[in-house]
A and B are shown apart, each in its own frame.
Chain A
Amino acid sequence: MKRLLQKIPDSLLRVGTAFIVFIAAVILVRSLIPASLKNTEEHRKATVEREVAHPVRYAGSEVCADCHEQFELKKKGYHKNLACETCHGVAKEHTENPGDVKPVKNTKREACVLCHIYNPSRPTGFPQINPSIHNPMRLCIECHNPHDPKPQHTPQECQACHAQIARTKAVSSHARLECTTCHTVPEQHKITPRQVRPTIPSDRSFCGKCHAKESKFVGTPKIDLVMHGEKYLCWQCHYPHMPEVE
């Protein structure tokens, strides 16, 4: 052995030792790392074990149906795909001990608004509200039955979707004009509102029907169409849904 070592050049021996020490150190440190961080299978296994170890807190909707008759109602309504525990809270313990443990349900407005606040990315037709103007002081469940939610009244023609405009117009001097006075609305607009759009007036003479000085219409502000507002269209200065505002 000693002879063999003598045959190896001194420099190689030293560098070799340094390398072996280094590699041994790396191997040692690596051996301290748990297997689950080094091997995909082990990692997956450890993850599954970790998740399985969590206590089961949810019971699942089927169990609720055994005792609660509201389940039948919910099954037919718009909330049919919503699990009971989404609103009523975790209920595993309740199913084991129904008398003593009651799930904590969330009846606050914030809970409903999670899904029903206006968000342009939600599908058209999905009921959405602006919570700060939609009966802000009341609980949602005072008017809507969460097990069978429905709008309180059928949406009125344009107002259903264009509520903001409707509210503005309602207090303006154009309040008594129908939407259809200025807009021609194809029937298809109610079904595919983004594809088929209502018309809007295209020139000044349209407003002039009531507001030109030649107009026979009584009680409207009159202007000289030729002189007033130069080349601009009327609605570039006057907001038609609230013409008082310039």
Chain B
Amino acid sequence: MNPVNEHLYEMLKQVSGYIYPNEVEFHWSILIVVYPYLTGLVAGAFILASLVKVFKVKQLQPVYRLSMLTALSFMIIAPLPLQLHLGHFERSYEIFLTPNFTSAMAMFGFVYAWYLMVVILLEIWFTYRRDLIRWAETDKPVMKFIHRALALFSKDTSEEGERFDMKAVKFITIIGIPSAFMLHGYVGFIFGSIKANPWWSSVLIPIVFLFSAIVSGIALVMLLYMVVTPLRGEKIEIACVDKMASFLFIAVIIDFSLEMLDFIHRLYQSEESIKILSDLVMNRLFISLGIIQVLLGMIVPLVLILFIKLFRVDEELRKLFYFLAAILIQMGIFATRWNVVMGGQMFSKSFRGLTAYKLEIGGMEGLFMTLALLIAPFFILALLIKILPPWEQQSAQS
């Protein structure tokens, strides 16, 4: 048998009912699951940071810089899954030089560039500028140069300059919130606007994506804060974690309600696709949607946080519950992305059959690559924390 399509014969065993011939092979692999997951974390982490600057939530000050750096490190990796999936890295910049304004997918470059350059980088720069100058004074030669270069060789440490920086940060955050909504709303829009696919085609998808992004971003920063702080030998500020958990709680409730609304809406509309979609949900997606996404990723974390809110739980147990909830939420949100991307490809557009996705282990779009992509942002974050320590300012203040 031709080795090129040998795996397709293997896939045929997984097919139930009738599918079109080109539906055996999945066009969007697990990397396309990773992409909305990563961009969601970026948008979520940024929105958490903006709570400090725009909405003046003082308790979250300790995680402000951390969440900005988290957003940046995940932002750097976010386009990589797409690049690996499409191949030809060397051509990717052409999306900027010869833009196609009528294609939503082709506009990703601009949405991404706007968010990276005008929002995240700029905000981080204004936040850190004065510290960079200060650090450069006491640094060793190499670091001195890095810090000076990052400050764009600015030497202005005047009060006036700092006041302007603060104003700039606030202004950028105000632009940043709609931009974050745009970034992840855009990812949802890509799916929601595919009218030929009833699993995706829904106006609610961008909003569901957005809120799941906020959920995952807050949970990630919470996890990072709870892991990194003890590693530095500092004490976790429970008020900060409590506040994050409160926002997380609200975000999960909104996300959950939106998803249920989408679900009920689909059931009530009962379009021609409803039979195959219920088949999909009850069979192929039962574990990843019913168990992981809804039960473990939403209901259990909600119960955990609610438990803490209702009963006077001591600090250690609270931390444990928060930690557990945040991990479950990450799992749940990854499952959400999986269910959207894979679910949309698992049923035949003839509405008469289901197929399955076979995950490669090695290879460009395999399991190892996925894990590497999911781990890479943490290495970048470690590097960023080394160059731009997010806590120095607080210790100086205290």
Chain A residues within 8 Å of B, Cβ to Cβ: 9-12, 14-15, 17-19, 22, 26, 29-30, 33, 37-38
Contacts and interface: CB of A to CB of B under 8 A. Distances in A.
B97 A26 contact: yes
27 contacts: A9-B156, A9-B160, A9-B161, A10-B155, A11-B126, A11-B129, A11-B156, A11-B161, A11-B164, A11-B168, A12-B164, A12-B168, A14-B152, A14-B154, A15-B122, A15-B126, A15-B152, A18-B152, A19-B117, A22-B117, A29-B97, A30-B97, A33-B97, A33-B98, A37-B98, A38-B97, A38-B98
B164 A15 contact: no
3 closest Cβ contacts across the A-B interface?
Answer: A10-B156, A14-B152, A9-B164
A119 B153 CA distance: 73
Given A9-B161, A10-B154, A10-B156, A15 B125 contact: yes
SS of A interface (majority): helix
Contacts of A29: 97
Contacts of A22: 117
Q: Which of A14, A30, A33, A37 has the most CB of B within 10 A?
A: A14
Interface in B134-173: 152-156, 160-161, 164-165, 168
B286 interface: no
A66 to B, nearest CB: 48
A14 B161 contact: no
A11 B126 CA distance: 8
A9 B126 CA distance: 12
B96 interface: yes
Nearest to A31: B97
Contacts of B117: 19, 22
A9 to B, nearest CB: 4
Given A11-B154, A11-B161, A33-B97, 20 more contacts: A9-B156, A9-B160, A10-B155, A11-B126, A11-B129, A11-B164, A12-B164, A12-B168, A14-B152, A14-B153, A14-B154, A15-B122, A15-B126, A15-B152, A17-B152, A19-B117, A22-B117, A26-B97, A29-B97, A33-B98
SS of B interface (majority): helix
Contacts of A14: 152-154
Interface of B: 96-98, 117, 122, 125-126, 129, 152-156, 160-161, 164-165, 168
A33 B99 CA distance: 12
A218 to B, nearest CB: 50
A17 B117 CA distance: 14
Nearest to B165: A11
A10 B98 CA distance: 34
A35 to B, nearest CB: 11
A141 to B, nearest CB: 35
Nearest to B153: A14
B96 A26 contact: yes
A17 B154 CA distance: 12
A11 B164 CA distance: 8
A22 to B, nearest CB: 8
Contacts of B97: 26, 29-30, 33, 38
Contacts of B165: 11
A156 to B, nearest CB: 37
A36 B179 CA distance: 33
Q: Which of A10, A17, A33 has the most CB of B within 10 A?
A: A10
Contacts of A18: 152
A30 B98 CA distance: 8
Contacts of A9: 156, 160-161, 164
B153 A10 contact: no
Contacts of B96: 26
A83 B97 CA distance: 45
A71 B168 CA distance: 82
A19 B121 CA distance: 12
B33 to A, nearest CB: 32
Nearest to B152: A14
Contacts of A26: 96-97
Nearest to B126: A11
A121 B298 CA distance: 52
B263 to A, nearest CB: 42
